[in-house]
Amino acid sequence: MDNQQERSLVDIGWMAGVWESEGYFGIHLQSNLFHPKYLYANGMRLDPKCGFTNSDPEMIKALSNILSSNGLAFYVGKPRIHGFSNKKLHQDLIISGLKRGSRFINFILPFLKTKRDRALLLQTYINYRLSKHKNYPYGIYDLYLYDELRKLNGNPPSKSSESIRQTLLKEKGEDVLRTE
């Protein structure tokens, strides 16, 4: 193996280690119930997200360079202060969307150890959604994967997902609630 290939593997391994400690794999829930000014098809939207937040701009730059050099799409937010007590500027590096998320997970998965289960569960969700047509309605299985990923990330099941389940049951009946 030449030095460039070796360096690339070292960089990817470093990125995976950083992602294991400070990054996340998640599904972002948006709903008409909680954001009435937006009209999401089927009443809600579930977006896969892989993200990393840090106050060190050099860390964000190093991750950006590794992702760019490997042809992976991402977004880096403007530096901002989060909350009231933390006065340190930080930036978010986000990989969102079904296809972008899938490419990133396939890229980093061989190097993950502690967050491998989360990445695999997010990939399961992505594969499920990619197997359906674009406007296929969300249902119980989508919300189940969303809640399972929240649990793996150390968060309680979402109250909003339960509200959405109940609304789906009332408005559309059980035939919409798939358990595939």
CATH number, residue 48: 3.10.28.10
Split at pLDDT 50, 70, 90, the class of 158 is: low
pLDDT of residue 175: 42
Burial class (CB in 10 A: 0-12, 13-18, 19+), 178: middle
92 forms beta bridges with 53
Task: Give the C-alpha distances (Å, rounded to integers) separating 106 from 19, 41, 68, 101, 160.
Answer: 14, 29, 15, 9, 30
Q: What is the DSSP letter of 136?
A: P
Number of folded domains that form the chain: 1
For residue 111, the enclosing domain spans 3-176
Higher-confidence position of 78 and 125: 125
Q: What is the pLDDT of residues 43-84, one digit of tens each?
A: 778 899 999 999 899 999 999 999 999 999 999 998 888 766
- Give the separation between CA 48 and CA 106, rounded to whole angstroms: 14
